[in-house]
């Protein structure tokens, strides 16, 4: 049988070079068996053949020794490859772990653009939006206060802050304080045909089951299409649930109206006032007077005769603006002298005098009583004269 050789270079299916150890030793055993068979045959021949056999044995032994060395070298190479493969697998597993850790870190990181933060975000310091020289929004906090500010950090100046939403609800357990030079609530343009207008301000309290609110309402007085301001009224009203209770109305006609229930009090641009009932002097009842101080009004007629009465017009900046003639009882020195209880000092623009209607009425009533008494006395005198005339005429 020809001698067999071990393959040391061909790459096997498992990726390793040459025959595996089992195949290599199998080839060696086949070669040993062949050599043994040939040796037996040679020994049977003897003589010269024996000498050649010794040489053959020596040659075969040397070849086997060289073959064993080559097999050991191949096994060492296989072991080295296995070790490198193991090290490569370990390195791959380490790289995979680092990649997973890197992905976890990347997922937890704040995205610079796009992306979603799916859990709480804690910032040690302020959050600042925008870049210089644009306006920045700063959000910061301390142990008890949250701060937001619109500021240009390049110039350290506060700027305008706009917020847009369909609706905005603010719930505060304590008070709300606004420090500003102007607090403005601006309605959208009221479209034609919108009768109800808009409620621009509402302050609501809840005493129990009811809603008790103070509202500022802008609305059309008539269900019309005009968009002129002269078609609209302003109302400041108290409303309980859906029912207005009292209303102060800045009417489109120029009047100032007060509505209580179904009654309307009107203060007109010409200086007149109308009321559905009577104006009542709240201090009329004698039970609220000091009885020791009460005394008759003396010489009321003379006092009234001492007052100055005129017909004329107001200056442009007073009364009706001087549009029409009016009858005046002058609040002047004559009134101070003759009816001091009637005049009221510094009541007009805190510098001009006026007079109290109820006080002047008291003088008028007293003067009327004096006139009635004079007429009664005159009638007594007339009656006495008539009687005397009748006596004289009878004696004639």
Give the per-residue pLDDT at 5. 75
Give the per-residue pLDDT at 195. 72
CA angle 39, 45, 47 (to 5 degrees): 105
Q: Say if residues 267 and 255 touch (Cβ distance below 8 Å).
A: yes
From first to last of its 396 residues, the chain has per-residue pLDDT tens of 667 777 777 777 777 777 777 787 787 887 878 877 777 776 665 555 556 667 777 877 887 788 778 888 877 877 877 787 787 778 778 877 887 777 777 666 666 677 777 787 777 777 777 776 777 778 888 888 888 888 887 788 888 888 888 888 888 888 888 888 888 888 888 877 777 788 888 999 999 999 999 999 998 888 778 888 888 999 999 999 999 999 999 999 999 999 998 899 999 887 788 888 877 766 678 888 899 999 999 999 999 999 999 999 999 888 888 889 999 999 999 999 999 999 999 988 889 999 988 899 999 999 999 999 999 999 999 999 998 998 888 876
State how beta strands 256-260 and 263-267 pair: antiparallel
| Distance (Å, whole) CA 151 – CA 159 | 5
Give the per-residue pLDDT at 110. 61
| Distance (Å, whole) CA 229 – CA 88 | 86
- Write down the residue that tokens 């709240």 correspond to: 282
As given in the structure block, the two tokens for residue 80 are: 């080295």
Give the per-residue pLDDT at 375. 94
As given in the structure block, the two tokens for residue 366 are: 């007293």
């Amino acid at each position: 049988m020809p001698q067999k050789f071990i393959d040391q270079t061909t790459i096997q299916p498992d990726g390793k070079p040459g025959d595996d150890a089992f195949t290599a030793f199998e080839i060696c055993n086949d070669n040993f068996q062949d050599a043994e068979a040939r040796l037996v045959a040679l020994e049977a021949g003897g003589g010269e053949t024996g000498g050649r056999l010794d040489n053959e044995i020596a040659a075969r032994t040397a070849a086997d020794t060289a073959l064993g060395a080559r097999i050991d070298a191949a096994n060492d190479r296989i072991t080295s490859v296995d070790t490198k493969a193991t090290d490569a697998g370990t390195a791959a597993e380490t790289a995979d772990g680092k990649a997973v850790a890197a992905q976890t870190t990347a997922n937890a990181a704040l995205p610079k653009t796009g992306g979603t933060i799916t859990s709480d975000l804690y910032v040690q310091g302020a959050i600042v939006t925008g870049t210089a020289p644009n306006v920045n929004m700063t959000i910061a906090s301390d142990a008890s206060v949250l701060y937001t500010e619109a500021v240009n950090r390049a110039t350290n100046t506060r700027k305008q802050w706009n917020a847009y939403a369909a609706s905005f609800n603010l719930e505060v357990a304590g008070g709300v304080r606004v420090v500003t030079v102007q607090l403005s609530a601006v309605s959208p343009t009221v479209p034609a045909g919108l009768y109800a207008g808009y409620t621009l301000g509402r302050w609501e309290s809840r005493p129990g089951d009811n809603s008790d609110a103070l509202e500022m309402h802008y609305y059309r007085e008539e269900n019309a299409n005009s968009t002129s301001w002269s078609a609209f009224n302003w109302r400041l009203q108290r409303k309980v649930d859906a029912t207005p209770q009292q209303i102060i109305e800045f009417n489109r006609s120029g009047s100032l109206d007060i509505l209580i229930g179904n009654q309307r009090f009107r203060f007109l641009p010409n200086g007149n006032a109308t009321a559905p009932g009577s104006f009542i002097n709240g201090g009329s009842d004698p039970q609220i007077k000091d009885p020791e101080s009460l005394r008759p009004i003396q010489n009321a007629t003379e006092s009234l005769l001492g007052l100055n009465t005129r017909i004329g017009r107001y200056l442009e900046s007073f009364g009706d603006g001087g549009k029409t003639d009016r009858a005046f009882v002058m609040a002047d020195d004559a009134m101070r002298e003759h009816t001091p209880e009637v005049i009221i000092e510094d009541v007009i623009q805190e510098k001009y005098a006026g007079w109290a209607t109820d006080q002047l009425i008291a003088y008028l009533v007293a003067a009327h009583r004096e006139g009635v008494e004079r007429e009664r006395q005159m009638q007594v005198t007339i009656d006495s004269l008539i009687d005397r005339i009748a006596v004289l005429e009878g004696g004639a």
